[in-house]
Amino acid sequence: MNRAALDALADEQVDWRHKGMPPALWGMTVEQIRARRPRLSELPTPLLTLSRAALDHNIDALASWCATRGFDLAPHGKTTMAPVLWAEQLRAGAWAITLANLPQLAIARAFGVQRVMIANSVISPLSLRWIVDELAAHPDDEIYVWADAVDTVRLMHEAIANHVADVGDRPQLRVLVERGGAGGRTGARDLGTALEIAAAVADSPYLALAGVAGYEGALAHTADEQSREIVAAYLRDLAEVHERLAAAGLYPEGITPVVTAGGSAYFDVVDEVLRPLAGAGARVVLRSGAYVVHDDGFYRDISPLGEHPRTDGPALRSAMHGWVRVSSQPEPGMAIFDAGKRDLPFDEGLPEVQRLRPRTADEHVTDLDGVSVTALNDQHGFLRFDAQAEPPVQIGDELRLGLSHPCTAMDKWTLVPVIGDADEDDPVVVDLLRTWF
């Protein structure tokens, strides 16, 4: 990646544009705030933070897990849209960064990411023109896209042919055949269609057949045996496409075919089914993205390295927390806090109440039981507890929340404080992480 572009982020001036930053820090640069090392108590609520220790642990944990099995990792950058974290993942051994569309690719290219997988079809002529021009200007870089229909290949071919007068020595756009599954998202639903797509890619002078791709996470949503067998059956179908393409000699010389699957929920099943391909000439690539942040909800429950591990390796840790303040107690058994859907994720489960921050300098953080989040409005959250007992919270209390689903947490914040240890009474802010959504 472009070190100068990353370093320049430290010179960004913090001000009113950055939600969660107090007026006392406005006018300072990110580097100045780092050096000042403010405490969490100096930042207002609502707030989202990341834990430096948990991020480091998670990056190392999955890098080691992949290396042990002979897999490559192309973490899905859309989870964080934070180039600084992408750089850390690449330094830990990631082979590429995965993204979802042209705007995300443009951010990656602005920060010098040299190998990107777009886990999607790209059929907009405007997008394709820019991509092939990027490749022409940087012939050693690699950009991969997916195709799940012959019409998709035709549209890619036509868009590039109408833009490029002569193929010449221009690098080809690398295309992966996407295999889908019944009831899933995109992807060819049968072997015959997948082979037709591959043949169409191989016939285009502007495209290079580079492997097979798919996404298993849309086919199951639990970790039980039935769900894992659904995923395994799908992965066997994906492997069959690759094996047929290799046997037919459709892969061009000089390209190691990529076989890619594996979000953050079923990479243990990917290991069981696809590992033999890693030792037989293919590059097996996981695209896990949520692992770097992990959570206290959906991924804690379903991840193979979560609360109920299904594979060897260090357990992942939730790096993200929400910090909110009780603003109202309008009736017994209920309180309202100052964060809602515009601040915290809610699509894969509501936040969970974890801790009560110290009320005075003489107190310490305490676990908070018997209090649950029951609803989120745009800017308000609802707490419920026993109406007959002494209220466990009072107006002005600050709470730490565990959150579910990092993919819909990070997008709500342009500048995320990174704290040293989320379990301390008053954690130190060690960095500010810039995101682009």
pLDDT in tens, 111-149: 999 999 999 999 999 999 999 999 999 999 999 999 999
- For the full predicted model, state whether its pTM sits above 0.85: yes
Please state, in angstroms and as integers, the Cα–Cα distance from residue 349 to each residue in 80, 227, 249, 296, 300, following that order.
19, 20, 47, 10, 12
pLDDT band at 176 (very low <50, low <70, confident <90, very high): very high
Q: Please give the pLDDT value at position 186.
A: 97
420 located within any domain: yes
64 located within any domain: no
Residues 347, 392 within the same domain:
yes
pLDDT digits (tens, 9 = 90+) for 14-37: 999 999 999 999 999 999 999 999
Q: Please give the pLDDT value at position 53.
A: 97
436: alpha, beta or left, given left = phi > 0 and alpha = psi -120 to 50?
beta
Distance CA 172, CA 192 (A): 25
Tokens of 160: 């590039």
Share of the chain above pLDDT 90, in %: 98
Q: Please give the pLDDT value at position 38.
A: 98
Residues 415, 368 within the same domain:
yes
Cross-strand partners of 428: 39
CATH number of residue 397's parent domain? 2.40.37.20
Residues spanned by the domain of 330: 3-51+316-434
Residues 391, 324 within the same domain:
yes
**Is the pLDDT confidence value at 85 over 80?**
yes
Residues 209, 264 within the same domain:
yes
Residues 262, 338 within the same domain:
no
pLDDT band at 405 (very low <50, low <70, confident <90, very high): very high
pLDDT band at 59 (very low <50, low <70, confident <90, very high): very high
Residues 264, 125 within the same domain:
yes
Cross-strand partners of 331: 334
**What's the mean per-residue pLDDT of the chain?**
97
Q: Please give the pLDDT value at position 55.
A: 98
Tell me what the mean pLDDT of segment 303-318 comes to. 97
Distance CA 37, CA 54 (A): 19
Rg (CA), the chain: 24
CA dihedral for 203, 206, 212, 217, sign (positive or negative): negative
Residues 262, 167 within the same domain:
yes
Strands (DSSP E) contained in 84-195 are 97-99, 115-118, 142-147, 173-178
214 located within any domain: yes
Distance CA 253, CA 281 (A): 13
Tell me what the mean pLDDT of segment 208-229 comes to. 96
Distance CA 14, CA 357 (A): 26
**Is the pLDDT confidence value at 418 over 80?**
yes
pLDDT digits (tens, 9 = 90+) for 358-396: 999 899 999 999 999 999 999 999 999 999 999 999 999
Q: Please give the pLDDT value at position 165.
A: 80
Distance CA 57, CA 3 (A): 23
Residues 249, 371 within the same domain:
no
301 located within any domain: no
259 located within any domain: yes
Cross-strand partners of 99: 118
Q: Please give the pLDDT value at position 375.
A: 98
- The total domain count for the chain is 2
Please state, in angstroms and as integers, the Cα–Cα distance from residue 149 to each residue in 101, 144, 427, following that order.
18, 16, 51
**Is the pLDDT confidence value at 295 over 80?**
yes
Please state, in angstroms and as integers, the Cα–Cα distance from residue 57 to each residue in 66, 206, 238, following that order.
14, 42, 31
108: alpha, beta or left, given left = phi > 0 and alpha = psi -120 to 50?
alpha
**Is the pLDDT confidence value at 62 over 80?**
yes
Strand 258-261 versus strand 207-213 pairing type: parallel
pLDDT digits (tens, 9 = 90+) for 301-310: 999 999 999 9
Q: Please give the pLDDT value at position 235.
A: 98
Tell me what the mean pLDDT of segment 412-417 comes to. 98
pLDDT digits (tens, 9 = 90+) for 222-279: 999 999 999 999 999 999 999 999 999 999 999 999 999 989 999 999 999 999 999 9
How many CB atoms neighbour CB 348 within 10 A? 19
**Is the pLDDT confidence value at 313 over 90?**
yes
CB 355 within 8 A of CB 365: yes
CATH number of residue 176's parent domain? 3.20.20.10
Q: Please give the pLDDT value at position 308.
A: 96
Instruction: Tell me which residue of 303, 304, 302, 349 sits closest to 322, measured CA to CA.
Output: 349
Q: Please give the pLDDT value at position 167.
A: 73
Q: At what angle do helices 225-247 and 267-278 cross, to 10 degrees?
A: 20
